[in-house]
Amino acid sequence: MIGMFKEKRIKKSLSDTVFGRNIVYMHVCDSTNELAKREVEMPHGTVFIADEQTNGKGRLGRTWESQKKSGIYMSVLIKDDIPLRDISQLTLVAGVAVCRALGYDTKIKWPNDVVIGTRKVCGILTERTGDAVICGIGINVNTKEFPPHLSDIATSLFIESGEKHDRDYICALVLNEFEILYNQFKDGGFAEIYGQYFDLCVTLGHDVVAFRDGEEITGFACGISLEGGLIIDTEDGEVTVSSGEVSVRGMYGYI
């Protein structure tokens, strides 16, 4: 009954959408992305949500801190025919959606972190499984404090505002915004949301260090390509990084 109640609370704030029309809710699971992989036969737009993850995942094999009943841990199952080269752009689409839904002057650290100031409030992990794509979104909502090793790099809506937030309502807001932007992306590609992403990308205008296939690239983040890559001005000219790890001066302890 609790699962049905939560589903109704989320759906009452959804627009007439496909994302969230079918919801799979778990009190606890290993990770919602892994749950979605196991249930990949579910319909397009199914959303997998858990109150707690025991093995939450971030990019590059990192662990995502998933405190019980304090955050939003959800994954959207996308079963449209998306070209392989465009799948990574869904991460960028989701980042814009989260910023539009949350407010709080949220920005995006390229490619997949949503930040308030210099601290991370949301992480996004997009994965392909067979012909489907899974977009996982983790948001720190009512977390009151983080372990010492995260306290300088992570924040939550509660920490920023001093107030508790309705996780189900925020979940619905994110899904509403994500579907609007996804449909624009599906019809016109990343170019349809390029301007919004560019305006929100806090990485731009900073010195960065990028790691791509074991190669270190140091320079100044000067732009975003029409394919969503980060353009870095180096001593040897401009380099476009489409994936990999990027550290931004002044954020997450990078000086």
Same domain, 114 and 208: no
Q: Closest Cα partner for 207 from 230, 181, 183?
A: 230
Task: Match 């001066």 to its residue by tokens.
Answer: 249
211: domain CATH number is 2.30.30.100
Q: Closest Cα partner for 50 from 22, 31, 76?
A: 31
Are 193 and 178 in contact by the 8 Å Cβ rule? The answer is no
Same domain, 233 and 147: no
Q: Which domain holds residue 150?
A: 2-199
Same domain, 108 and 7: yes
Residue 84 lies in a domain: yes
What is the rounded average pLDDT of the residues 49-59?
Answer: 77
Residue 254 lies in a domain: no
C-alpha span between 247 and 244 (Å, rounded): 10
Same domain, 146 and 231: no
Global pTM value: 0.92
C-alpha span between 153 and 143 (Å, rounded): 14
Same domain, 126 and 232: no
- Structural domain total, the chain: 2
**Distances, alpha carbon 249 to alpha carbons 21, 193, 218, 231, in Å:** 41, 26, 11, 16
What is the rounded average pLDDT of the residues 31-35?
Answer: 95
Residue 192 lies in a domain: yes
Are 10 and 20 in contact by the 8 Å Cβ rule? The answer is yes
Same domain, 39 and 89: yes
Please identify, among 164, 183, 199, the residue that sits at the C-terminal boundary of a domain.
Answer: 199
The pLDDT-based confidence of 60 (bands split at 50, 70, 90) is very low
Residue 118 predicted with pLDDT over 80: yes
Residue 184 lies in a domain: yes
Same domain, 195 and 215: no
C-alpha span between 6 and 171 (Å, rounded): 11
Residue 128 lies in a domain: yes
Same domain, 10 and 69: yes
Dump pLDDT digits (tens) for 122-153: 999 999 998 899 999 999 999 998 888 887 88
Dump pLDDT digits (tens) for 139-198: 999 999 888 888 788 999 999 999 999 999 999 999 999 999 999 999 999 999 999 999
Residue 93 lies in a domain: yes
